[in-house]
Amino acid sequence: FGELFANVLIVGIGGSALGPQFVADALGAPTDRLKPFFFDNTDPDGMDRVLEAIEERGGLSRTLTIVISKSGGTKETRNGMLESQAAYKACGLDPARHFVAVTQEGSELDKVAVKEGWLPRFPLWAWVGGRTSELSAVGLLAAALQGIDIKGMLDGAAAMDVLTRNTDTMKNPALLLSLSWLKATNGKGEKDMVVLPYKDRLTLLSKYLQQLVMESLGKDKDLDGKAVKQGIAVYGNKGSTDQHAYVQQLRDGVDNFFITFLQVLKERKATNMEVEPGVTSGDYLFGFLLGTRRALYEGGRPSITVAVEDVTPRAVGALIALFERAVGFYASFVNINAYHQPGVEAGKKAAQAVISLQSKVVKGLAESAAGATADELAKAQIGRASCRE
């Protein structure tokens, strides 16, 4: 009792994890106030590995847990919450003294937090989607606890918003970026977006953008109800690593993509050392970026370059806002709703149907004293469904 927290465990999925993970990795340092850990899947083995890593950092007694779910009904997050609560109890700890909720007021999660007496709750609003929630309590709470300058992030996003309102196209980065996507894909998703940040701190940007772009733009119907099958597929990792991986295909293989390069001008915080006379490791990184871009251009492969001075809270906030606003512009150009996700909801319902069927099968096996074959169980379930009809 009375120990200071040393760790923060974030329990969430999709935008409730991808944004915080990206920011934690991009802006984290060994001197962070709290070290972040994530339950971002309903994989039991994955959660066990995280708990083992937490144990090496003082254990759950020194860990604050943030459960993030707007509705409180997301099963993966619910499972992570229950698994983490069980882990606390197994250590003789009261989860309520360690748990914080980020959720919509009145949600299932909100009710659980109130009933069990959790630590203070932080609000979400119905109009904030997971993939655009990093600059809400979803991302800012975890970042602030880690020790990241969240005011700097918000200042960067606000500065990008000012630019986004500029009616001069050439002075509006988000509009320029969305128009580049429109040209590259013919407004029909004809080419994939390859994201290549030339900076280790931005490695998780491609995963973050994958959800932001694909969940926002991957739609069956437009705003008029017309079937359009829109979307832009996104994948990527980092440069110059991927020059030894899939850049070979990008240069010489199927022409079904465009590249977004992310360039960071500052090499490092410490004084640069030379690996050759007058040449640093960062010079090589910059050379590989320019060389790869030129080689692709000579092969007729288009690319976009986004450059920032350094990976700072302000720059990260600006990048998040840049891509969020670009997604909004592009959706307007192709006449779709970027802010709903009917396909995701359909997947959740299908998964729940599988779980329901499993429960019926297990119950059927338990009720069958002599045992039953799979065919017999299936026929029994079909018969029961017919009777209900």
CA angle centred on 56, ends 50 and 60, rounded to 5°: 65
**Residue 388: both structure tokens together:** 């209900």
- How far is Cα 216 from Cα 234, in angstroms, rounded to an integer? 12
Which residues is 123 bridged to in the sheet? 103
- How far is Cα 147 from Cα 29, in angstroms, rounded to an integer? 9
The distance of Cα 122 from the centroid of its chain, to the nearest Å, equals: 20
The predicted pLDDT at position 343 comes to: 57
Pairing verdict, β 303-308 and 274-276: unpaired
Spatial neighbors of 182 by CB under 8 A, at least 6 apart, are 330, 333, 334
The predicted pLDDT at position 246 comes to: 81
Which residues are known catalytic residues? 215, 244, 348
Q: Within a 10 A sphere around the Cβ of 193, how many other Cβ atoms? A: 23
The predicted pLDDT at position 242 comes to: 80
The predicted pLDDT at position 346 comes to: 54
The distance of Cα 220 from the centroid of its chain, to the nearest Å, equals: 22
The predicted pLDDT at position 389 comes to: 47
Q: Each residue's pLDDT tens digit in the chain (389 positions)?
A: 467 999 999 999 999 999 999 999 999 999 999 999 999 999 999 999 999 999 999 999 999 999 999 988 889 999 999 999 999 999 999 999 999 999 999 999 999 999 999 999 999 988 888 999 999 999 999 999 999 999 999 999 999 999 999 999 999 999 999 999 999 999 999 999 999 999 999 999 999 999 999 999 999 999 999 999 999 999 998 998 887 788 889 889 999 999 999 999 999 988 889 999 999 999 999 999 999 999 999 999 999 999 999 999 999 999 999 999 999 999 999 999 999 877 555 555 555 666 566 666 666 666 665 566 767 766 666 555 444 54
The predicted pLDDT at position 261 comes to: 96
CA proximity to 64, closest of 34, 86, 22: 34
